[in-house]
Structures are given as structure tokens and as C-alpha cells.
Chains A and B, each alone.
Chain A
């Protein structure tokens, strides 16, 4: 089982709709979880971090964490073409930040 798993996509979402990105992780002891956005040809940038079960909102982004199910998700409301990118889920495992393969998101104008 991979340490951090994501569907590679592409996930196509109409402009203005909600994009839902999912991630599962294998280490039940992990305590910190992150979403990074990576535009094509660019480096990753941190957009959300979450440490407790439940939801965390920041503008159009909501991160959701369910430690019992070892599941993290990212919701993007009112999706814009500028949201088209690869979204990387990352987990702190034994003090190392481990990334998933990423999900490619395409917002359809």
C-alpha cells in the first residue's frame, strides 16, 4: 500500500462548480496533512494545512480530515479556470513530508 494515494485524474469540473479532491494515507499515526497546488512547469505551493478531524475553510478552499478513515479531501468552491493545476496531498510521516502522485484538475470554461 502506498503511503499517500490519490486518483491521478484528470478531474474535469465546469467553471463555477465545486471540485472535490480526495486522498488516503496509510500511517495511522500521521498528525499533519497538507494540500499543495502545482501549476504545469512550476513548483508546488502550500494552499491548506489541517491537523484536526473536521473541516477547515480558507476562502474558496475547504480541507476535510477523517483520521478514523485515514482520509483527507479538498473542496474548491466556485471553481475558476485559474484553479486548473495538479493538487498534491502530503502527509507528515515520521517527520518527513510525503507526497501523493497528485490529481490533475481541469476547470472547463
Chain B
């Protein structure tokens, strides 16, 4: 049973560029949440997708957008990258009925130069 998979594992971009990160949830899960984790900080909630709709959103600007596909996989898009966007981006999947039990992928380390 595959867990949560994220791609790519590492990414280097320059300021102003755009990036797309991908996530496949754990088998049987229908909900995907995205988190940003800066070095030495806890994960910060970006948004959550369920049934291809953004269900919840944290305090992130509109430069951060997402999508969920019919197979429950998800993408996180970040436009107009800033140096401060450098962080580990974590995808977590869950069942909406047990929304609170999050299973995390290994993350994508994004470096913005």
C-alpha cells in the first residue's frame, strides 16, 4: 500500500518564477492538505482540497493556488516566487470522515534564489 508520494523531492527556482508541486494521497484517502515548513518552524497550513474544491485555506496570499484531480491527487502552484517561499512543502492526506489523522509525504524542498 503506497503512502503519500510527492514530487519532485528538491527544486531550485529563481525569484519571479512559477512552480508546481505534486502529491498523490495514500490509497483510500480523499482529502489533501498542503503545508509550508520553514527551517526550525512547525508546518503552516496553506489549504485543503476535497472533491476537487478548496475546502479550507490558511493565511497565504493568492500566489499560492492548488488543484485536486478526480483521482484525488493534488497540485500546489506558487506564482511570482519570493526568496521567503524557500521551505519544505508537505502534502498530507486523510479521509474527510477522519480528517484529523494526517499522513504526510516526504515533502518537496524548494529553494528560491
* Chains A and B come from one and the same complex: yes
Enumerate chain A residues within 8 angstroms of B40, measured Cβ to Cβ: 8, 101
**Is there a chain A Cβ closer than 8 Å to B100's Cβ?**
yes
**Is there a chain B Cβ closer than 8 Å to A80's Cβ?**
no
Contact of A96 among B42, B45, B90 (CB under 8 A): B45
Enumerate chain A residues within 8 angstroms of B56, measured Cβ to Cβ: 94-96
B42 touches A32 (CB 8 A): no
Enumerate chain A residues within 8 angstroms of B41, measured Cβ to Cβ: 101-102
Residue of B at shortest CB range from A91? Answer: B100
**Is there a chain B Cβ closer than 8 Å to A45's Cβ?**
yes
Using an 8 Å CB-CB cutoff, how does the interface string of A73-100 with B read, 1 for contact, 0 for none?
A: 0000000000000001000101111111
A99 touches B100 (CB 8 A): no
B106 touches A42 (CB 8 A): yes
Total number of A residues with any Cβ neighbor in B under 8 Å: 22
Contact of B107 among A6, A43, A94, A97 (CB under 8 A): A43
Residue of A at shortest CB range from B109? Answer: A41
**Is there a chain B Cβ closer than 8 Å to A46's Cβ?**
yes
Enumerate chain A residues within 8 angstroms of B106, measured Cβ to Cβ: 42-43
Contact of A43 among B33, B42, B105 (CB under 8 A): B105
Contact of B100 among A32, A42, A101, A102 (CB under 8 A): A32
Determine how close the nearest CB of chain A comes to the CB of B29; give it in whole angstroms. 14
B102 touches A97 (CB 8 A): yes
Determine how close the nearest CB of chain B comes to the CB of A97; give it in whole angstroms. 6
**Is there a chain B Cβ closer than 8 Å to A70's Cβ?**
no
B105 touches A97 (CB 8 A): no
User: In residues 34-64 of chain B, which contact A (Cβ within 8 Å)?
Assistant: 35, 40-45, 48, 56, 58
Determine how close the nearest CB of chain A comes to the CB of B104; give it in whole angstroms. 4
Enumerate chain B residues within 8 angstroms of A25, measured Cβ to Cβ: none
Determine how close the nearest CB of chain B comes to the CB of A7; give it in whole angstroms. 13
Q: What residues make up the interface of B, taking CB atoms closer than 8 Å to A?
A: 33, 35, 40-45, 48, 56, 58, 90, 99-107
